[in-house]
Structure 1
Amino acid sequence: MRTPLVAGNWKMNKTVEEARSLVFEMSRGLREIKGVEKVLCPPFTSLLTAAALLQGTDIGLGAQNMHWEEKGAFTGETSPAMVAEFCKYVIIGHSERRMYFGETDGTVNKKIAAARTRNLIPILCVGETLAEYEAGRTAHVVSRQVREGLKGLDADFAPKIVIAYEPVWAIGTGRASSGENANAGVRDVIRKSLGELYGPAAAQAIRVLYGGSVTASNAAEFFSQPDIDGALVGGTSLKVDEFVAITRAASNAQTF
């Protein structure tokens, strides 16, 4: 059985003081929800504050990105060692990193490998753009992102990996995929690719999340699908009631 996971990606939102208040409210709302891994991913500036507030809770902390090098002349970057001081999880390869900051499958692969050296759980983001979707290239693009992102990583590490399938055309647009279509993509493309990399048992052990305009009103539709194991939530993760409701929906799902 795969334990569901719901992660909130706060993106570039909240000052330290605002984050302090939001983490406090989130922890109150999430503490009674069991049977699901809960992860908050605030900006780097708020990780220390969030780590202190979450100490002693069952809520995990994640970073939104990191460099693959341990140290050096990489102005503005954050190393795996720095992330590991506070976090258990790290988001890697988000479409916004690929789109705005030149992230490639190659750099994603380096970051995944670096996450392993620091015992971090990588949340590898994959997904097609609207143009790729309309051109019928979803399977090709997503399969490539999975294969190239995980290239060279052995099967022992595979069960620790989390994949987040986020169709780029659905992120922040309010235009979510249907649960059935998202599940088909996970099953026929992502799990198939994972099976070819690591074998069928590992492919079934790896958790795959859905992301892209997930809300409290549509979360249950996604979580009822047999191959979707939770969600990577963007803007809605800044709304306490919504994020708590999404997390509760994952806990209540009977398909995991």
Structure 2
Amino acid sequence: MKKMTDFYEITSKNTNSLSKTEQNIFNYVVKNMHKVKNMSIRELSTECYVSTTTVFRFVKKIGYSGYEEFVNSVREAEEATRKINIPNIVKHENYKESYLKNIIEGVQVLTDDKIDQFNAIMSKYPKVYILVEGASREVAHYFYRLLVSVGYSVDMLFEEFEIDSILKRIKSNDVLLVLSYTGSNQRVINSLERIFAIVTPTIVSFTRADNNIIQNMSDLNFYVFADEVNYEGIDVTSRIGMIAIIEILMYKRIIN
């Protein structure tokens, strides 16, 4: 019997062999675990516009003996990624294991297909803009350094005047990289809406693995996993998973 908390470890071994339809089901499951954990096979098939037979084949293909084992695994994985509040200090017996597991899960769910999509987008050496808010700003600085090092023209969008400035010059063939762990930062969403009112560049986002607004506004999204930690009202959630994904993507660019 497989450990249900190993959802991403189990599925990551098989996602590269999924058909386009099966990949769509997988993406739906990862984005909507909070819903899927309580769905019957018929309900999931309806949501994904496929037959129950297709869902059953998908479940078998990603490594489960049947739908019950699959949905129990989804339920446990979803519960493991819920927000935790640690009021004063990071004090959790299994924090080290959880920290490593989040990095591993993010890397394992990063499919070759998504890496290739990112590579194809960046192969044209487009003008790049990085839109970011909150604790992800430090990650953006590192991303900026990697991109500039390999020859990209990059602008960072931190302040309101910087958003105002690019509205006059951003083009449809540019790339907008959006770093927002929650995927629901209202300032970032408002900025995207302002940009979309003028032009629609390619949007590549890095958010947590749920069905969030920024993810749904993106052409390509990368899932980030972390135990969410709030210290006296300040978000101190680790961004190491985001950095790991960015490094893999950029190292792939470097060797191509």
- Give the alignment's TM-score, normalised by structure 1: 0.29
Q: Which protein is bigger by CA-based radius of gyration?
A: 2
TM-score normalised by length of structure 2 = 0.29
